Amino acid sequence: MAVKVGDTAPDFTLTSQTGASVSLKDFRGQKNVIVYFYPKDDTPGCTAEACAFRDSYEAFKDAGAEVIGISEDSQQSHEKFASKYQLPFVLLSDTGNKVRQLYGVPATLWIMPGRVTYAIDKQGVVRHIFDSMLDFKAHISESIKTLEAIES
């Protein structure tokens, strides 16, 4: 069953590119969180999306939000990807796509992991969901618009 706007975001704990365990509940009451699921490290679309999040990272910080990218790539792959593109945010390894399934992120053409972004407020409520495989930069603009609405 897919997560919907208004639902409490399911908690998870995954390993980051640095080897640290990161849980969504760690941010509850502290920060809004943008969780974006993407197909694969260091591929053209995923790199464009990650770099767009990087380039707007200060805007997310200014809005009191943290950005978290999730794919099934390994910790080592995430470490290389984050280093290569100087990504300032957390990348989490969802081995076996368990969290992707928990959120109900659809596959594209039934084979490729989908690209979906969730804006989650400080109380852990999903405030916006954006699903687009090809409009990489819209994931960022949609997230910022939602954060502005949450904070106003």
**For the chain (length 152 residues), average pLDDT per consecutive 10?**
93 97 96 96 93 96 95 96 97 95 84 88 96 84 91 77
Catalytic annotation, residues: 46
Note the pLDDT of residue 133: 78
* Spatial distance between the Cα atoms of 105 and 71, rounded to a whole number of angstroms: 11
Angle at 78 between CA 55 and CA 92, to 5 degrees: 90
Q: pTM for the whole thing? A: 0.94
Note the pLDDT of residue 21: 97
Note the pLDDT of residue 110: 63
The amino acid present at 110, given as its one-letter code, is W
* Spatial distance between the Cα atoms of 115 and 101, rounded to a whole number of angstroms: 13
Domains of the chain: 13-151 (3.40.30.10)
